[in-house]
């Protein structure tokens, strides 16, 4: 910040969010942003991106201006981090980017007098916006981490907001205060919990960030139908940490790779970059069509190639595909275990291309008591 630049404030934030959305924030939510200063909900230490895929701490006491600028910027701020012995940093809670929060609130179509359940209280900021807009008695927020729930309760109270903050597993919702006209999750799910449908009346709406093992991307907007099912569409924004209880934790080194394994070797003309590169629509499609398979790029410098690794959540099978940057070539594939994971991914990609490469927003989803079905309409005529 230069000495002449204005002190960051909710107005700074609103103008950044308007840039993100491509339009001004709806007036009632803009009022809420002005009345609920985000800095009051952030801990004194937040973690900022270091530009190399990691995070660096930013302490309010040490770097007050930088901390304040971050607080009123449209960026997600990591508020809790777990670091393992190898230095790998995994964020376990974050204050979501306000632009994403406001987009979800607007998507939820909230009206006066409605009751809302939020899943994932985190800092309490989102719950405070809701409480300001609807009134304390109409907002319930569930947080699985007891320490975060306790802090959020105290911070909310100090800021003059009194929504109900429940410590518990959000997958169960909060039956004691149901029904809710709207459910908004701020952690992503691979499957919509049955309790959420049970606690929403017909016509109620759910706004839920989505995740597959392949990619965490997209937001599902569902309407509860009178028969107890729900139906809706995906929107192409949102990338939230996966809800605790729905995370798969298989590990390549720990669970899958063993000395002496003799994987099958073959070649593929499908570039691994096509399924795991920068095309989020392709990644989303593969994630929906190949259940329980995750991927990771290995850029170890002792390899001639960048390597795409695939593994299943159950830790039975793995595959790797070497990539040298060329878009068409005979890429080397290794596959091991009962599932032929690259073959599954390549078949899913072929199916997606044949279906006319539907984008994320061309996908819809129906949730029933026994699971969910996805549908897609073609973006362009199939080849
Ligand atoms: C992105 S943060 C939420 C941001 C928050 N809405 C805010 O305004 O700061 C996601 C939160 O979901 C919580 N969470 C994860 N799994 C959960 C679960 N099963 N039930 C409830 N909360 C959960 C995490 O502990 C984390 O605080």
Q: How far is CA 221 from CA 91, 136, 181, 338, in A?
A: 25, 24, 13, 36
Distance CA(194)–CA(370), nearest Å, equals 9
- Catalytic residues, which ones? 96
Q: Ligand 1 within 6 A of 187 CB?
A: yes
- Residue 298: what pLDDT? 85
Q: Ligand 1 within 6 A of 77 CB?
A: no
Each residue of 252-285: pLDDT tens digit? 888 888 888 899 999 999 999 999 999 999 999 9
- Among 187, 191, 241, name the best residue to mutate to test ligand 1's pocket (greatest count of ligand atoms within 8 A of Cβ): 187
Distance CA(157)–CA(117), nearest Å, equals 18
- Find, among 192, 345, 171, the residue nearest to 270 by Cα: 345
Q: What is the arithmetic mean of pLDDT over 362-383?
A: 85
CATH topology of domain 10-54+96-244: Rossmann fold (3.40.50)
Q: Ligand 1 within 6 A of 126 CB?
A: yes
pLDDT at 50 over 90: no
Distance CA(18)–CA(13), nearest Å, equals 9
pLDDT at 239 over 60: yes
Query: pTM for the whole thing?
Result: 0.92
Degrees, nearest 5: CA angle 182-184-187: 160
Cβ pair 341, 276 in contact under 8 A: no
- Residue 25: what pLDDT? 95
- Residue 303: what pLDDT? 64
- Residue 246: what pLDDT? 85
Domain ranges of the chain: 10-54+96-244, 262-354
């Amino acid at each position: 910040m230069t000495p002449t630049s204005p002190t960051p404030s909710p107005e700074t934030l609103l103008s950044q969010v308007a840039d993100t959305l491509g339009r001004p924030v709806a007036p009632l939510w803009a009022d809420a942003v002005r009345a609920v200063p985000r800095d009051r909900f952030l801990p004194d230490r937040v973690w900022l991106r270091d530009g190399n895929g990691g995070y660096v701490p930013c302490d309010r006491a040490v770097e007050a201006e930088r901390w304040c600028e971050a607080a009123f910027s449209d960026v997600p701020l990591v508020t809790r981090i777990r670091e393992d012995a190898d230095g790998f940093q995994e964020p376990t809670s974050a204050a979501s980017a306000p632009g994403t929060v406001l987009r979800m609130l607007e998507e939820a179509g909230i009206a006066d007098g409605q009751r809302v359940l939020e899943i994932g209280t985190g800092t309490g900021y989102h719950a405070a916006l809701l409480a300001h807009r609807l009134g304390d008695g109409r907002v319930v927020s569930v947080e699985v981490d007891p320490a975060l729930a306790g802090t959020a309760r105290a911070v909310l109270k100090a800021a003059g907001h009194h929504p109900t903050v429940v410590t518990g597993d959000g997958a169960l919702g909060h039956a004691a205060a149901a029904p809710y006209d709207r459910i908004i999750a701020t952690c992503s799910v691979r499957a919509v919990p049955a309790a959420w449908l049970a606690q929403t009346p017909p016509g109620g709406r759910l706004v839920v960030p989505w995740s597959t093992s392949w990619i965490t991307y997209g937001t599902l907007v569902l309407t509860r139908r009178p028969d107890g099912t729900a139906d809706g569409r995906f929107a192409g924004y949102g990338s939230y940490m996966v809800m605790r209880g729905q995370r798969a934790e298989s590990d390549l080194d720990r669970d899958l790779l063993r000395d002496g394994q003799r994987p099958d070797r073959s070649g593929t003309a499908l570039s691994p970059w096509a399924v795991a590169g920068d095309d989020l629509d392709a990644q989303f499609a593969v994630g929906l069509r190949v259940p329980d398979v995750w991927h990771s790029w290995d850029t170890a410098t002792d390899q001639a190639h960048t390597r795409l690794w695939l593994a299943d959540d159950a830790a039975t099978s793995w595959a790797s595909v070497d990539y040298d940057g060329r878009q068409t070539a005979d890429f080397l594939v290794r596959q091991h275990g009962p599932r032929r994971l690259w073959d599954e991914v390549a078949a899913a990609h072929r199916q997606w291309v044949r279906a006319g490469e539907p984008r994320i927003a061309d996908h819809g989803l129906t949730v029933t008591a026994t699971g969910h079905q996805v549908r897609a309409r073609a973006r362009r005529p199939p080849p």
